[in-house]
Structure formats: structure tokens, C-alpha cells
Chains A and B, each alone.
Chain A
Amino acid sequence: MIQFDRVSKRYPNGKDALSKVSFTLPAGQLTFLTGHSGAGKSTLLKLIMMIERPTQGQVLVEGQNLNGFGNRHIPLLRRKIGMVHQNHQLLFDRSVFDNVALPLIIAGYSRADIGKRVRAALDKVGLLDKEKLNPIMLSGGEQQRVGIARAVVNKPPLLLADEPTGNLDPALSEEIMDLFQDFARVGVAVLIATHDLSLIARYNHRLLTLREGRLIHDGDDRDGNGTGDTHGR
């Protein structure tokens, strides 16, 4: 689904955000991505979203090399990627329904189809009865679930999450994680960037650990997890 091949990213200010990072994310797998702030998690996500381009190496999504993509291909790439943000990135000038419908409107679905798919996505995250509300009236956990519904509403093969449980208590975090695991089970490649080591510890999923732009751990063993100075916080 996603393949990084010796990817390096140096920002114009000379900072090396990523150095020769290689890994593969298969479909149907949930993977954690962790590391300190500034270790390169955000840069890695930005490269997948084509917000940034690699300085060296190749990023492949569905077997296609993003280096060959022009700017006009970016929207079509992003339609294949569901993105969940820590701060939800919801629009408070419209209803929950309209927030979730946005990717479908952009992709050009018919109205009838939009209604069906939005309700299916809201049903999945358990917010079907809140579709007419403004997201500002929802709790933090509910807002995050609206964000997830929006990310998955057009059934993307890839789901990225940036600190999805950052502002949530453990019980709510667990609900969110259950959702992500469900998506992985139906074949979506899920990549969750997080600081939350207790969250990582609770699940036995593959873990990618970044330190100063290098991939220092890749596997589903817990050795690289949290206990050492790598990302102890």
C-alpha cells in the first residue's frame, strides 16, 4: 500500500527531518509511528500526503511513485487517503453531515449516494443521531469521531492519523482505537502517529520508531517501545 524507499527529507533551513527511511505498509495492517517531537513523524505523514516532497528516495502509494506526480495529481492522491487530525479540523460553519459529506462532494458523488455514504460512516462511528448538529456542540471524543467519519467516508485504502487520541481520556482513546482496528480488519492500511506510549503498549501492533529522522525500530515486538530513552515520555 505504502512503500518508503531510502527516503530523506532536508528542509530549506538545512534541517534533516528524515534520513534514508525505508519501510512498507501492507493493506489491512495497523501500524503505530512514534518518536519524539521533531523526530520526523509529521514530515513522514506530509510526504505521504504530498504536502512535502522528499529530497531523496521514493515514496510509493499503491505502487505509484509520488516523485512522478505533478501538483495537479495531488488532489487525486489525497482522495485515496483518509486523514485524522489531533485537532479534528472540522468546520464549524456547517453541520456534522456536511462536514462528513465534504470529501464526497469534492469527489463528485451524486446526492443520493452522498446521503447513503455519510449516514453509513456516521453510523460506523456511532453518531448517526447527531448529523444535523453543529460539531461545536459535540464533545471532544465525538468531534474526533466526526473527523474519523470524514476520513473514511469515501472508503480510502489508506488511513493516516496524527495524534488521534491526543486530547482524549483512555476510555475514549480505546473507542477510537477500536474503530481504527475495525478499518484495518476490512483491508485498510492504517498508520497512527502518536506520542501515547500507554496506548501503544495496550495493543500488539507493528511499531515504527523514529529518532532524529532515522527509523530505529520496526516490528511488532515491544522492545523498541517506550521503556528505553528512545521515546520515554
Chain B
Amino acid sequence: MAANKRNATPIKPRRPKAEKPRRVAGAQSASTSLKDRLASWREHHRDSLRDALHRINLSRASSAMTILVIAIALSLPAGLAVLLDNARAITRGWDGNAHLSVFLAMDVQESRQRDLARQWEALDHIQRTKVITREQALAEFQALSGFGDVLEALPDNPLPPLIVVFPDSTDPVTLRDLENRLAAEPGVDLVQLDVEWVRRLHALIELGERLISALTLALAAAVVLVVVNTIRLGIESRRDEIVVVKIVGGTDGFVRRPFLYTGFCFGFGGGLVAVVLVQTALWWLGGPIDELLALYESEQSLTSMAASSLIILPMFSGILGLLGAWLAVGRHLGDIEPNF
């Protein structure tokens, strides 16, 4: 158990207080002034925090284990979220390649084709259009495909007029709307979305997001349970103290407070260690990933966690710890009642 903690911090005289007359009746009768009680309440909070840290430090090995379990549980979803953020940032650079190929009916004249292309540029979600006439298409096909001789043998140019539409978004729903709208335009024969892979990528990223959400939920629950268990053991080992505090008139809040602080400290500490773990992993993965990205001709480089996450993760984790402590205290503190 704890060494004499208050011996180490001798009581400092602060301000003398005049003896207040004791009100005789009433359960609420108080022999201390409101100001004194506020000061004492603040002091108790500070003492509770100090006491929590002191006890965590006393049982260093088991506390470290608890904090590490929390850290590992949190670093998994946090690390994956950072990787996913990076994937999203990288694919944003690829969106420029997405386009729709709108094949017009064979009988659409070139002037009409150019009119359509101009009209469509005014539509929502279309960044620009590019006209490829039947002749251009034929020339390109002959140059690139190697089937030039075969095509020459045909009596007519078999290639339809084409308008390439560059959307300003890669959102799958927007693209599908655009595809349907263009297909309904007069003179349009076929709309081909050349961004299937973008869609798949987005679907994958969305899947990843959901997986991470589920993982976060499950592991957050694990953190809460770890803290519940740790605090439960703490309550058990301080049973005598709780009994005495209750006998001399300690409120439930007074008994609860040190445990809530302990839970928060475990959570917060676990969150801090999780940040370190994630950053270390990112640094370690940085080299190979940059190489991979270079192969995909991406300018992007692996970015670390956002500065805000460095605070948010420990706070979030601290709140989970607080929640765990609250649950443990709510369940087990009522069982401990004075008896003689």
C-alpha cells in the first residue's frame, strides 16, 4: 500500500480560520464556510490526482502493463486511420485522370458535335470537354493500334464521333448521375465511364473507413473493460480505506474521485503511448512507402498524424478511462459498506 504520502508533503499553514458556530439542527449543518469548503474541494481534486499518479507509480509494473494494453489497442485504429488519410490524399491526385467517353451516333455531324461539347461544359460537375472527331479517332487508332491496314480495307470509317468529358469530381454518385444525364442527351449513343478503377478505389477506401470505425468501437470497448478491471482491483485493495471513509462521513463523490482520476490517468497515459507507437510505426514505414508512392508517380509523401490528433487521441483515451472507472466504481463501490 501507499507509503505515507502526506508525510512527504507536510501540511502547510495557509490562513487561520475563525471557529464558526456550529448549527445545532439539520443534517445539512456545516461547521465550515463555503469558501473553505470550495478550497478544500479543489484541494481534494488535486490530492486525488496526485494520489492517483502516486498509486500508478507504486505498482509500476502492472500499471505499465495496463497502459501498454490501452496504447496497443488504440494505436491499431489510429495508425490505420493515418494510413487511410494518406491513401485518400494520394488518390485525390489521381482524380484528374477520371473522365467519361461519350460516343455519339454515327450520323452526328462534326459541327453538331462541337456544339454539344460546348453546351455540356456549362453543365454542373463538368470541368471541360474534349472533342475527338471521327477522323481524329481514326488517325489515332491507326497510329496506336497497329490495325491501320485493316481499317483502310473497310469502306467506311467505323469509329463514332467522341466527346471526352472531364468531371470536376470523382464522387461515385455524382459520376453515375453525370453518366445517366449524358446518356439521355440527344445524339448520344453510349457513355462509358473510364473511372471504374477510381470507383473501386473509393469503395475500398470507404470499406476501410467502416472497418476502422468498427475496429475503433471494438477496441474502445476493450480499453473501457481493461480500465474497469484495473479499477475494480484497485477498489478491492482499498476496501478498508473505503469503509473507514464511509464511517467518518465521506460522500460517495469523495470515495469515487481518486478512482475516477486513476481511470483518466490510465486512459490518458495509454493515449500518449499510442501516439508514440503510431508515430514510430509511421517513421519506420516511411521509407518503403515513399518508394512505393514514387513508383505510382505520386508527389505525395507519407504524412504523420495531424497535430490536433496528438492531443485528441490522449484526451479521447482519457475519457474512455474515465468511463471505465465510472462503471467500475458504480458497480463495486456500493458493495462496500461499513459493518461491525
Interface residues of A (CB under 8 A from B): 42, 45-46, 49, 51, 62-64, 69, 72-73, 75-80, 83, 85-86, 89-95, 97-98, 101-103, 105-115, 132, 134, 150, 154-155, 162
Q: A109 contacts which chain B residues (CB < 8 A)?
A: 17, 32, 36, 40
Chain B binding surface SS class: loop
Using A108-B36, A110-B15, A110-B40 as known contacts, say yes or no to A93 and B249 having CB atoms under 8 A apart: no
Least CB distance from A162 to B in Å reads 5
Q: Could you say which of B6, B25, B37, B39 contacts A98, with CB atoms under 8 Å apart? A: B6
Beta-carbon contact of B244 and A91 below 8 Å:
yes
Contact (Cβ within 8 A) B14 A110:
yes
Q: Which of A64, A69, A76, A101 contacts B249 (CB 8 A)?
A: A76
Residue contact B245 to A102, C-beta cutoff 8 Å: yes
A-B pairs with lowest CB-CB distance, top 8: A79-B249, A93-B1, A108-B40, A78-B249, A108-B37, A103-B248, A112-B13, A75-B251
Docked Cα-Cα span, A89 to B36, in Å, equals 28
When distances are taken between beta carbons in the complex, the residues of chain B under 8 Å from A51 are 337-339
**Chain B nearest Cβ from A37, distance in angstroms:** 13
Q: Name 13 interchain pairs, CB-CB below 8 A, sorted by A.
A: A46-B340, A49-B247, A69-B27, A72-B251, A75-B252, A77-B27, A77-B249, A79-B249, A91-B241, A94-B5, A97-B6, A105-B44, A110-B14
Is B31's beta carbon under 8 Å from chain A?
A: yes
Complex: chain B residue closest to A150, CB-CB: B248
By a beta-carbon cutoff of 8 Å, the part of chain B in contact with chain A is: 1-7, 11-17, 22, 24-29, 31-32, 36-37, 39-41, 43-44, 240-241, 243-252, 254, 337-340
Once bound together, how far apart are the Cα atoms of A155 and B20, in whole Å? 13
B340: contacting residue among A42, A75, A115, CB under 8 A: A42
CA distance A155 to B252 in the complex (A): 22
**Within 8 Å CB of B338, what residues of A?**
49, 51
Cβ contact within 8 Å between B6 and A106: no
